[in-house]
Amino acid sequence: MITLPDYLDALQSRGRYTVTKAEIVSATGQLPRTAEAALRRLKAKRRVASPRRGFYVVVPAEYREAGAPPPSWFIGDLMRFLGQPYYVGLLSAAELHGAAHQRPQELQVVTDRATRPVRVGRGRIRFVKKERVLTTPVQLANSGAGSIRVSTPEATALDLVRYARVSGYLDNVATVLRDLAERIDSDRLADAAYPGESATAQRLGYLLVKLGFGEKARRLAEAVASRRPSPVPLRPDSPERRGAIDPQWQVIINEEVEPDV
């Protein structure tokens, strides 16, 4: 039977950086308690990290000081281990699409249920709960150790507005949208804005026009108009509910948005 360090080396040589406790027990022939003791010793040496009980990340030599490779290396395997659908979204997705005014300090992941955050080494993962994870448009992106699911530019723009608080509030959302807009397709944006959440589409459309990307919101404007929308506040969590109403988007301008220069 192979030793645990040799087994981890073999995984890494094949470009694999995650493994479960059950796989380790099966491959090494060790008793579960023996495997756990060996894993504790390797964790102390920063040879492995464990973002969730029973799930381990192989740490290459160049990431020993950091305590773990970047979360994007193992997020797909972790979510499969947890049995949850996911995609990398919000500011993390915007960065992957080339729109990152400030590099996010965490990997932002959208899933279908409340999930505890992960901190492993210097890396952090924040989970955002969303019901329509499986129907959100996504694409594959290279993570450095395989492919991960990432929301499309259009879905990312909608999520940034939908979860503005997680995205650094509206000023930061507008700053990121200004860079992301070049990658947005008008037709795909309208398709990504599902009818049950017109308020998000109204707010996003208003912001795109304000930022000078009205053509990107052209099809979205048609879709919103067809739904006969009611006025919605630009910032729904603000105690201020009054303000001028944008006639095209029916958005109550209860906060002035100022993107960073």
What pLDDT, in 10s, does the model give residues 64-74?
A: 999 999 999 99
Q: Specify the pLDDT at position 54.
A: 96
User: Given CA atoms 125, 126, 132, 135 in this order, what sign does their dihedral have?
Assistant: negative
Give the model's confidence band at 144: pLDDT under 50 very low, under 70 low, under 90 confident, else very high.
confident
Q: Which of 207, 53, 35, 187 is nearest to 120 (CA)?
A: 53
Structure tokens given for 242? 């009054």
Domains of the chain by range and CATH?
A: 4-63 (1.10.10), 71-252 (no CATH)
Q: Which of 250, 253, 221, 248 is nearest to 236 (CA)?
A: 253
Structure tokens given for 34? 């023996």
Whether the predicted pLDDT of 241 surpasses 90: no
Q: How far apart are CA 78 and CA 71, in angstroms?
A: 10
What is the average pLDDT score of the chain? 95
Whole-prediction pTM = 0.94
The pLDDT tens digits of the residues spanning 148-163 come to 999 999 999 999 999 9
Structure tokens given for 170? 């509206």
Whether the predicted pLDDT of 218 surpasses 90: yes
Q: How far apart are CA 36 and CA 117, in angstroms?
A: 23
Give the model's confidence band at 30: pLDDT under 50 very low, under 70 low, under 90 confident, else very high.
very high
Q: Specify the pLDDT at position 146.
A: 86
